[in-house]
């Protein structure tokens, strides 16, 4: 299956399956321990491990954490780093799974977990190809979704369609956000005819139960995923989104962000309600060895009772945290240092995966 999916995909939506919103109850968060020196070169990997420890510490105060490691040696290395950071390794809510990966971006390699009624859950495992074949080899990442489902004890359905978790965001009530630059990109089509909006809307209806798809345009500069929506715009309530808003006119993202805001205004969700749009500031442009980095506050993660928000040690941090504290109240909003993290071209949401309860 590639190109427009048509009838080749199972119609999970018609069978009553629903993709819940990220703020709905979780059983756990999944996270893969970082280990790729090509992703974080020049000594960054050690500093990134300290950020991982901070994320896991914050999550353990909220819900169980399931950590992916490659083997016995990598599990011991992760335990050593967490022990050095003062984390209680005897906590029963912290578990390690020997599921090998190529990199740490479990948001895109892991399954999307659907629910039906009060008791049923299903892991939707899609095809992973390293964002259009950019980073070979990726065979271990491609196999990780099904292995996570097995470790979680979830029944799974495998579909031959590229659909990364960071490329979509939903309100749990049938409205899904995405971008043209990613979902319609030629490198996502694989072995078939080009994707179309109609074809991808049908795919999202079948796989996620989407009844309304909101299409944004382009992603932010430096984003190697071709424009994942979790860097741009996120649901924070059933009919409220926060959307990255341009700062100075010199901001390289200004034109794309203005266009996305224009598309959002006046829209209604799948139930006919107006979508409230709350502007979320962008940090000033940050650069790395290969150019601009995809630094954004929209790449936050909602766990049970808390929100983990990337911060960059710049003045706009305080303003972004204030916006999110207002729209996410009474949830606790925790800043996670991400200046080193974003050199890997992702942040907090990219490296976490929620397992709905």
Q: Which helix (H) or strand (E) segment is 296 a member of?
A: none
What stretches of 239-331 show up as alpha helix (H) in DSSP?
A: 254-264, 316-328
What stretches of 85-217 show up as alpha helix (H) in DSSP?
A: 106-109, 130-133, 139-151, 180-183, 197-208
Output the six-digit token pair for 187: 């490198």
Contact 101, 142 (CB under 8 A): no
What stretches of the chain show up as alpha helix (H) in DSSP?
A: 44-60, 72-84, 106-109, 130-133, 139-151, 180-183, 197-208, 254-264, 316-328
- The residue among 171, 154, 243 whose CA lies nearest residue 208 is 171
182 part of the active site: no
- CA-to-CA distance for 181 and 168, rounded, in angstroms? 12
Point out the catalytic residue in the list 173, 182, 233, 350.
350
- CA-to-CA distance for 184 and 197, rounded, in angstroms? 7
Q: How many CB atoms lie within 10 A of CB 68?
A: 26
**Hey, which residues are catalytic here?**
350
């Amino acid at each position: 299956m590639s190109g427009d999916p048509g009838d080749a995909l199972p119609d999970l939506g018609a069978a009553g399956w629903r993709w819940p919103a990220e703020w709905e109850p979780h059983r756990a968060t999944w996270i893969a321990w970082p280990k790729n020196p090509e992703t974080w070169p020049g000594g960054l990997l050690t500093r990134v491990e300290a950020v991982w420890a901070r994320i896991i510490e914050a999550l353990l105060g909220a819900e169980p954490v399931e950590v992916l490691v490659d083997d016995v040696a990598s599990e011991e290395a992760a335990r050593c780093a967490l022990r050095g950071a003062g984390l209680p390794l005897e906590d029963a809510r912290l578990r390690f799974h020997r599921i090998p990966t190529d990199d740490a971006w479990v948001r895109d390699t892991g399954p999307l977990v659907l629910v039906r009624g009060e008791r049923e859950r299903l892991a939707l495992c899609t095809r992973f190809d390293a964002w259009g074949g950019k980073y070979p080899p990726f065979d271990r990442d491609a196999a990780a979704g099904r292995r996570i489902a097995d470790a979680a004890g979830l029944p799974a359905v495998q579909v031959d369609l590229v659909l990364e978790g960071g490329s979509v965001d939903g309100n749990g009530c049938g409205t899904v956000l995405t971008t043209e630059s990613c979902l319609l990109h030629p490198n996502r089509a694989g072995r078939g005819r080009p994707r179309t909006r109609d074809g991808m809307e049908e795919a999202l209806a079948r796989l996620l139960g989407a009844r309304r798809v909101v299409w944004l345009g382009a992603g932010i500069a430096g984003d190697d995923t071709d424009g994942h929506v979790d860097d741009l715009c996120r649901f924070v309530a059933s009919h409220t989104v926060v959307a990255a808003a341009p700062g100075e006119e010199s901001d390289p993202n200004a034109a794309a962000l203005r266009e996305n805001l224009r598309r959002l205004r006046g829209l209604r969700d799948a139930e006919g309600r107006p979508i409230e749009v709350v502007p979320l500031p962008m940090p000033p442009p940050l650069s790395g060895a290969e150019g601009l980095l995809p630094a954004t506050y929209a790449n936050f993660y909602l766990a049970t009772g808390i929100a983990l928000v990337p911060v960059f040690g710049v003045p706009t941090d305080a303003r972004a945290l204030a916006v999110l504290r207002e729209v996410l109240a009474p949830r606790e909003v925790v800043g996670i240092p991400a200046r080193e993290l974003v050199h890997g071209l992702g942040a907090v949401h990219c490296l976490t995966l929620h397992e709905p309860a």
